[in-house]
Structure 1
Amino acid sequence: MSRSERLLQLLQVLRQHRRPVSGRVLAETLGISLRTLYRDIASLQAQGADIDGEAGVGYMLRPGYMLPPLMFSADEIEALVLGMRLVASRADPQLVFAARDALSKIDAVLPADLRETLASSPLLAGGKPELPEDRVDLTLLRKAIQAERTLRIVYRDEKGSATERTIWPFALAFFDGARVLLAWCTLRNDFRHFRTDRMDVIEEGTGRYPRRRTQLLKEWRQKSGIPERIF
């Protein structure tokens, strides 16, 4: 492993810990000596990494630190490009714009060789799927999820029968055949999936629903038997 790769790996390990982690644990994780670890910490700090701590106490990378251009390998660049292209073919216009803007920002800070990898990536996303027209603004749904706000909706089943519901939205899934809102339904007192082409929003809630969306998503995964790494 080269020194630059080792420094990158050290940054990645630090990012995985929200509390100070001892030098011994870091050294064992990286397979290096404590002396080498201390030198690497000092080197990263000299390059501007916001690492707090000291020998015998522990180290922590402050939130918000942006990794330098060496953070991406060629494979990681291609994964990012493919992901952005998938977003561009399936998401709402605001997310499509955000994906393109993000790629532009990444391109601006990459070294020349990796910039060429980004520009010439051979990984393509399939054409835009034939999705039914949404009856609701997806941006509104995403904002409600982020703010953990309730929504009052009218939902129509496959036969066209409509019901009014109050829901706690916690995730939005993008499939080839439909976009689906995952939510806790107070009418059914259970998790429910709502196709966005069958729903109308009546009213946005002004306050948070009583549980955190991360907890709802975790419980939904457990009930559905879906591992976190898959969904």
Structure 2
Amino acid sequence: MSDSDTKRLSRLTAILLQLQTKRLLTATELANRFSVSIRTIYRDIKALEQAGVPVLTEEGRGYTLMEGYRIPPVMFTENQANALILAEQLVLKNKDASFVKDYTEAIDKIKAVLGYQVKDKANLLAERTRYTRNLNSERTSNNLSDLQFALTNFSLTRIDYTNEAQKTSTRLIEPFALLHTQEGWLLVAWCRLRKEFRYFRLDRIRKLHILPEKFAPHKMTLQDFFDKYH
């Protein structure tokens, strides 16, 4: 698919969403919104009609969708849903109450269209993630998405981990929670080597492999963990 085809497909999808959101839209409004000519919008509307979308033209007023027509709910992959949950944690730290309120309401709407399985996992991740501002740290990692997946799917995970003494060992871990501290991301996990819960800095994980084996979910909340181990 060429770049122009990709742009057109994105525009057609956006036009469809706009039509579902608003009662009436004129060709001029759409042309201005997407920075294209009115002639292009005419072609786009025709393409939607040919694809079976019931676009109605009200003479002199604009375009509208047939009453009762709805596009299917937006589908998110697990990783996309997890990214949204993480973004929610970041937004909740914002000091502007109205911004937090608007974003939280938007996330609630997004959660409403998630499949039950993904929704349950997204809620679990929200309960098991804590974020604090990180103003000075330059530490980076590439494993957050994989660890979110392992946490919500109770997947045993093998990591190569380098400690403060720069010694690297292989660990089998059961991911439990993700914490963002002033120093960067930390993973709380049951370490089968040490037979206890341990903290792992994500920037010290050299390799990570999610195994097909599942572990039994730990019967406590993140607050229970803090109460017990702090």
TM-score (norm 1): 0.42
- Mark the structure with the bigger radius of gyration: 2
